[in-house]
Amino acid sequence: MTPRLELDPLLVARARELAARAAEPVVELARRHTTVSVERAVLRLAGLTGTDPLTGGGGTENTVPWVNRVVDAVREQVGLEHGVALPVWHALASGTAPSLQALAEQVGAGTARFTLPEGADADRARAAARTAVARGIARIDANRRRREELVATHGDPPRRPWIYLIVATGDIHEDIPQAQAAARAGADVIAVIRSTGQSLLDFVPEGATRTGYAGTYATQENFRLMRAALDETSAELGRYVRLTNYASGLCMPEIAVLAGLERLDMMLNDAMYGILFRDINPQRTFVDQRFSRMVHARAGIIINTGEDNYLTTADAVDEAHTVTVSQLLNERFAHEAGLADWQLGLGHAFEIDPDRRESFRLELAHAMLARALFPDAPLKWMPPTKHMTGDVFRGYLLDGFFNLAGALTGQGILLVGMMTEAVVTPWLSDRDLALRNVRYVLDAAGGLVEDFAPPTGGFIDRRAHTVLTEAVQLLEKIAAHEGGLLQAIADGTFGITRRPPDGGKGLDGVVRLAAGAWNPALALLDREPADA
Amino acid sequence: MPEGTVIRPYGDTTGDGMVQVSFTLPVPPGPQADGAALQLARKMGLEPAMVVHSHGIGGGGGTAGDGYTFFVVYGSVRHLVDLDAVAVEERAYPLLSPSEVNLAIRSRLGRKLVVLGACIGTDAHTVGIDAILNLKGFAGEKGLEYYREMSVANLGAQVSVPELVARARTARADAVLVSQVVTQKDAHLRNTRELAAAFREAMGERRPLLVVGGPRFDPGAAGELGVDRVFGRGTTPGEVASYLVHALVPEGLPA
């Protein structure tokens, strides 16, 4: 499957070594801090659900989940420097409340009192917390086994790349029939786009929702409903249809937990997207992404990274190497968090200006570079968006070339391009025509990857080498940067934005850990699954 | 080019009126579906019309299991177009692309345009100001952070008016953008008047351009509220950027 492109092994080794060096201070930072969302994720693993009924009024966006109330109360009373688990399970073990849910209600009533346990009390709290959180992790493990069983029963898609299609109506009950229809029409992976702005909410909405704008809220109940519907369709089609959502934004760790609890199969989860495109604080993002990736690793979820986004703001030829650098960093962060290569849907995109001469050859060179550099990763191949002008006929041709590049270079996951990109949200007929385009290309040329071997020293080979060399040069600059990757981001190295370490949203939710801090989820996730 | 002011669509012969349309009807494919498409085409003014292609959609593989049918129809349209009756709506300012905005600022202002954004009052919903300012943008358009010639700072939610005035003064802001999404009992109007009064008092004529936006605002109310411009629901970053150029960048070429 892997196309033949010989990369200089010394250059490749150098690139990985530099990526590891650039990532190291950030990993250290993540180890030394926690966030409100990481702590809320711990409570979600322990089974705390629901919202405080007294905070209602104004619908989904204005109800406060119990996990937020409890973490805020602990923070106010004893601080989060030791994590939420010790004070919470100390309160439970001391008999102040019969259950976590009851304790949350005491927080709501303003009667809960938290203290930090010591000595034998701390041991008792740790044991109780470990038992509670282990139940959530056991459910994630069971979901992973269940996925493996279902894949064995129904089968994987008959070929690569897997065909990835988006639904986004805002109403989960509209999304479901659309997703099922898309699967019947050939989609292997269904992604439910989130409501505009959810990434900037510092809580996860609850329940089945029907009021999203340009997308549907990611909630545990919406996850459950969609997964159940796609399980039905998988049985009907004899092919396991995968479900995707977004572990990004201020609640990345919690959404990762909910994805594991409800057997989602893929999650968008980029190390730097939130920083660059959403102005989320860099420290917050790096702490949150490490935890979320540990959860994804355990859950057997394939992550999708967001390098395609760089090319929507920067020139796809001039800045091609920033995609490679980000892929290498994402790979490093992912490996450190325990993800295996088969779980790395590293992103890249077909965004070179089609009016540029040799644009298709350049696209092939970039796509083959990614393929050769990450031979065991399923690479997520994203369609043109920047140069889709509303000329739907030209757009349909461009999508055909995009599909051909995907087939020719052995991409793992192909997001279906819409000729009506930038015109309307896809119509029924747009999706159908787009899938016909994909099917035609894969049926006609899917095997061409076997025959396609650009000659050494030719245009494609030279271009791939140039981009890799530029990537190594940029990594050298980052690794040598005083202040490391964080400062490089502050200086505007990626995309065109500058994001200082103390700027952006969510910094107030980052807490430096004290000696003796303890997180039962991290303790359990660091271990191998019991029966994997 | 045909003469006169009355024209018809052009296929391959002047006056043939030929157009091509595609659409989907919620019926399974078959003779009845094709007949339905022809009926629609006639009602749209296509006569004669030809269904040159149809196929089922819905996973039934062309059977009645498909609940929908897609059509491509060609036909001659009866209607005439009177060019004299075409009214072109003129905007008070032209809608510019990001590169045109950047060029205008660079060549005619000669420095970066400084923009501050914030949500004021108790409203914690930054979705409006984020849609306009964040690189991610809105409706397929990048936010103002994407514009190289703008220096943009998003102060976030619940910024007090005195703090906003102080920040605008320190940053020498050219424009201050304020968004208010969730509002009760016309708080957005009270907040806006307070904002306008505070800037007038603190800075007088030298105050920055004041722009407010949100779904509950009436775009015609700028004068009454004491601000320069009000944007309503659905405003995109490009519209705001174009307006800022119109209002803040001198016309014509530099010396």
Render chain B in DSSP notation, one character per residue. Answer: --SSSEE---SSSTT--EEEEEEEESS-SSHHHHHHHHHHHHHTTEEEEEEEEEEEESSSTTSTT--EEEEEEEEEE---EEGGGPPPPPPSS----HHHHHHHIIIII-SPEEEEEEEBTT----HHHHHHHSTT-BTTB--GGG-TTEEEEE--SSB-HHHHHHHHHHHT-SEEEEE--S-STTHHHHHHHHHHHHHHHHHGGGPPEEEEE-TT--GGGHHHHTSSEEE-TT--HHHHHHHHHHHHSPSS---
pLDDT at A62: 62
Closest chain B residue by Cα to residue A279: B134
pLDDT at A242: 98
Does residue B208 have a pLDDT over 60?
yes
Closest chain A residue by Cα to residue B142: A313
In this prediction, residues A304-332 reach a mean pLDDT of 91
In this prediction, residues A431-452 reach a mean pLDDT of 93
Does residue B101 have a pLDDT over 50?
yes
Q: Exposed/middle/buried for B54, CB within 10 Å: 0-12, 13-18, 19+?
A: middle
Mutate which of A194, A351, A428, A440 to test chain B, going by most B C-beta atoms within 10 A?
A428
For domain B98-248, the CATH superfamily is Cobalamin-binding domain (3.40.50.280)
How far apart CA B17 and CA A138 sit, in angstroms, is 68
Domain membership flag for residue A420? yes
Over residues A480-491, the pLDDT tens digits come to 887 789 988 898
- Helix (H), strand (E) at residue A438: helix A428-445
How far apart CA B220 and CA A400 sit, in angstroms, is 46
Q: Catalytic: which of A188, A265, A288, A380?
A: A380
The one-letter amino acid at A381: W
How far apart CA B240 and CA B248 sit, in angstroms, is 12
Residues of A in contact with B182 (CB under 8 A): 58
Handedness of CA A407, A408, A412, A418 (dihedral sign): negative
Residues of A in contact with B73 (CB under 8 A): none
pLDDT at B114: 96
Residues of B in contact with A184 (CB under 8 A): 58-59
pLDDT at B181: 74
Handedness of CA B214, B219, B225, B227 (dihedral sign): positive
pLDDT at A532: 37
Domain membership flag for residue A531? no
Mutate which of B135, B148, B181 to test chain A, going by most A C-beta atoms within 10 A?
B135
Angle formed by the axes of helices A220-237 and A119-154, nearest 10°: 30
Does residue B255 have a pLDDT over 60?
no
Domain membership flag for residue A528? no
CATH topology classification for B6-84: Defensin A-like (3.30.30)
A277:B136 CB<8 A: yes
Q: Catalytic: which of B43, B112, B136, B142?
A: B136
Over residues A96-106, the pLDDT tens digits come to 999 999 999 99
pLDDT at A509: 97
Residues of A in contact with B150 (CB under 8 A): none
Q: Is the peptide bond before B237 cis (omega within 30 degrees of 0)?
A: no
State the nearest Cα–Cα gap between B148 and chain A, in angstroms: 8
Q: Where residue A211 falls among pLDDT bands split at 50, 70, 90? A: confident
Q: Which pTM value belongs to this model?
A: 0.86
In this prediction, residues A108-118 reach a mean pLDDT of 96
Over residues B145-197, the pLDDT tens digits come to 999 999 999 887 778 899 899 999 999 999 999 988 766 678 889 899 999 99
Mutate which of A193, A200, A315, A351 to test chain B, going by most B C-beta atoms within 10 A?
A200
State the nearest Cα–Cα gap between B91 and chain A, in angstroms: 22
Q: Could you give phi then psi for residue B114, rounded to 5 degrees?
A: -95, 120
Q: Which long-range contacts (CB under 8 A, 24 or more apart) does A218-223 make?
A: A218/A192, A218/A194, A218/A245, A218/A246, A218/A255, A218/A258, A219/A258, A220/A49, A220/A258, A220/A261, A220/A262, A222/A172, A222/A192, A223/A258, A223/A259, A223/A262, A223/A264
Domain membership flag for residue A505? yes
Q: Which of A271, A250, A270, A268 has the alpha carbon at shortest distance from A259? A: A268
- Pairs of residues, one from chain A and one from chain B, whose beta carbons lie less than 8 Å apart: 58
Does residue A1 have a pLDDT over 90?
no
Mean pLDDT (chain B) is: 88
Handedness of CA A432, A438, A442, A445 (dihedral sign): positive
Higher pLDDT, A308 or A119: A119
What CATH code is carried by the domain that includes residue A79?
Answer: 3.20.20.440
ipTM for the complex?
A: 0.85
Q: How many Å separate Cα A398 from the centre of its chain? A: 27
Domain membership flag for residue A509? yes
Does residue A285 have a pLDDT over 90?
yes
How far apart CA A485 and CA A428 sit, in angstroms, is 44
Over residues A226-278, the pLDDT tens digits come to 999 999 999 999 999 999 999 999 999 999 999 999 999 999 999 888 998 88
Is A308 assigned a catalytic role? yes
pLDDT at B219: 84
Nearest to A313 among B127, B146, B156 (CB): B146
pLDDT at A2: 52
How far apart CA A167 and CA A216 sit, in angstroms, is 9
A184:B138 CB<8 A: no
How far apart CA B117 and CA B131 sit, in angstroms, is 11
Mean pLDDT (chain A) is: 93
User: Is the CB of residue A413 less than 8 Å from the CB of residue A345?
Assistant: yes
Residues of B in contact with A429 (CB under 8 A): 22-24, 57, 68, 70
Closest chain B residue by Cα to residue A237: B59
User: Is the CB of residue A16 less than 8 Å from the CB of residue A328?
Assistant: yes
Q: Regarding beta strands B175-179 and B209-213, do their DSSP bridges make them parallel or antiparallel, or are they unpaired? A: parallel
Is A396 assigned a catalytic role? no
What number of other Cβ atoms are within 10 A of residue A138's Cβ? Answer: 14
Residues of A in contact with B59 (CB under 8 A): 181, 184-185
Return the bridge partners of A280, or none: A505
How many structural domains does chain A have? 1
Structural domain spans, chain B: 6-84, 98-248
Can you give the residue range of the structural domain that contains A83? 1-521
User: Is the CB of residue A90 less than 8 Å from the CB of residue A116?
Assistant: yes
Does residue A149 have a pLDDT over 60?
yes
Domain membership flag for residue A169? yes
Domain membership flag for residue A64? yes
Q: Which of B10, B17, B72, B70 has the alpha carbon at shortest distance from B47? A: B17
pLDDT at A114: 97
Residue the block writes with tokens 């044991």: A127
Q: Where residue A474 falls among pLDDT bands split at 50, 70, 90? A: very high
State the nearest Cα–Cα gap between A278 and chain B, in angstroms: 6
